[in-house]
Amino acid sequence: MSALFEEEVLSVRHWTDRLFSFTTTRSPSFRYENGQFTMIGLAVNGKPLLRAYSLVSPNYADELEFLSIKVADGPLTSKLQHLKVGDKILVGKKPTGTLLVDNLLPGRNLYMLGTGTGLAPFMSLAKDPAVYERFDKIVLVHGCRTAAELAYADEIENKLPNDELLGEEIRAKLLYYPTVTREDFRHRGRITHLFGTGQMASDLGLAPIDATQDRVMICGSPAFLSDITTLLKGMSLKEGNSNEPGSYVIEKAFVER
């Protein structure tokens, strides 16, 4: 049996000249947990060319959704960015990943910190009922260079609070904190700075980060992961995994360089 499903592209959205997203059909037997990633790609010269992509769509959705950068000379994204409705796409049957609520100890506030396409896994988690059951506040943080790169901002701010299933929980618990580094915006600066100085918690009216109560999920570029991990360790937060839940979990955003 093949390790890949063949799905069909249902819609494509170009956010900027560096960023796009698309939706596909979903094979009924494809199962995943919110926060996970899977391999996706295209058949090139008869062989699958695959990269890891986090699922943007929650695991109960009828369609799959993915967020991608466009790299002009990237082996996959140089081709993927030309996807059209009706095209075929390969989707790996074995999703995996560490950004799972079960890998975290129960706690007070959950911070989901993503840079660039590192937002993707948090979109599925922001629609997961288990997340709202376990935490008082869920802080969805997205750091980008420009406001145009704040993908899904409209959905987060205007659609999620009216979600049929989770609207009430979302209105009570979800706080969205977009921040931009290279132009003026209502929040400006790198996530590491805003989180580390306490400015983020203060802007949101939350108590300062407390390692014994607050939890963090992180997804972004290797430089961001390295800097934020140093910061969290300095605050005495411990990394969690499936054997031993902890106070933070981490995943690299799988971008092509």
Chain residues binding ligand A2P by CB under 6 A are 115-116, 143-145, 181-182, 190-192, 221, 223-224, 227
Contact between residue 91 and residue 194 where contact means Cβ atoms under 8 Å apart:
no
Minimum Å distance from CB 247 to ligand A2P?
Answer: 20
134's tokens: 């376990």
Minimum Å distance from CB 214 to ligand A2P?
Answer: 19
Comparing CB distances to ligand A2P, the nearer of 18 and 215 is: 18
Minimum Å distance from CB 232 to ligand A2P?
Answer: 13
Question: Using CA atoms, how far apart are residues 252 and 58, in angstroms rounded to an integer?
Answer: 19
Comparing CB distances to ligand A2P, the nearer of 106 and 222 is: 222
Q: Look-up: residue for tokens 């983020």?
A: 200
Comparing CB distances to ligand A2P, the nearer of 31 and 182 is: 182
Minimum Å distance from CB 101 to ligand A2P?
Answer: 24
Comparing CB distances to ligand A2P, the nearer of 39 and 191 is: 191
Nearest partner of 246 among 208, 204, 218, judged by Cα? 218
- Using a CB cutoff of 8 Å and minimum separation of 24, what contacts does 161-166 make? 163/127, 165/129, 166/127, 166/129, 166/132
